[in-house]
Chains A and B, each alone.
Chain A
């Protein structure tokens, strides 16, 4: 492993730790704020039984939006740096780029795709709520749609991304 490759790996680990740290702060803040309950089997059971309980989902959509946004921004910081190597030397850029083709990085890209898709689709939902002044029920249906579309598209994308290393 060359020096830039080692630096990239260290920076990537730092990005992952920052995301875990931020997610912990958000989730701990959710509990401290006393704004509602954690996602527990009991809560999920209530939400399935009664649509009135589904307001909880909106709150967790907000946290998921915040955490996925932070994660994408953290990776963007690293990505601007590794693409910046292209201006410095094509050889250094290619050394780091080789890592992107490895199995762990491909797995990371799948996670990134999940984050980007959820943040994008939920963001478009928020825009629609603001512009069209949607009812709560419609907004919640759109959230379910955004979540389902995220899972379907991200899984399809993950198959394409992982295929070369799965053989």
Chain B
């Protein structure tokens, strides 16, 4: 992994112009904190979700009637939406760094990172719409 701020553009070198501008130190620090906070949140939300739908309830009994019953409660709607938002933020930040590590070409890197953001945005909208439709009835 790259040291935060190491490629802030203060050092003039031949490749600097071709490289996409690295995130600033401050923004990197904020993402770092976000990954830790969402991670802590997800350790409760995801394990709780998995325990409920796979361990306490057999997965064969989690059909639409189970979902309807569970989403009858505002707590579970909030739980699921928070889990969706936290997981997408956490996962996007993680894969963002993985793309930086494994994509030397700046153009390909930008393409992949945009694709990642697009995928996360689509999933966020899809999941939010699904939950919003339940709330609005």
- Chain A residues proximal to chain B, CB less than 8 Å: 22, 25-26, 29, 66, 69-70, 72-73, 76-77, 80-81, 83-84, 86-87, 90, 93-94, 97, 100-101, 105-106, 109, 112-113, 116-117, 120, 123-124, 127, 130, 157, 160-161, 164
Contact = CB atoms under 8 A, between A and B. Distances in A.
Contacts of A160: 54-55
B62 A100 contact: yes
Contacts of A123: 39, 43
Which 6 pairs between the two chains have the least Cβ-Cβ distance? A101-B60, A73-B91, A90-B64, A87-B130, A80-B123, A87-B133
B60 A164 contact: yes
Nearest to B46: A116
A80 B127 contact: yes
Contacts, number: 94
B64 A70 contact: no
Interface of B: 36, 39-40, 42-43, 46-47, 50, 54-55, 58-60, 62-64, 67-68, 84, 87-88, 91, 94-95, 98, 101-102, 119, 123, 126-127, 129-130, 133-134
Contacts of B54: 109, 113, 157, 160-161
Given A83-B127, A116-B50, A157-B54, A127 B39 contact: yes
B84 A80 contact: yes
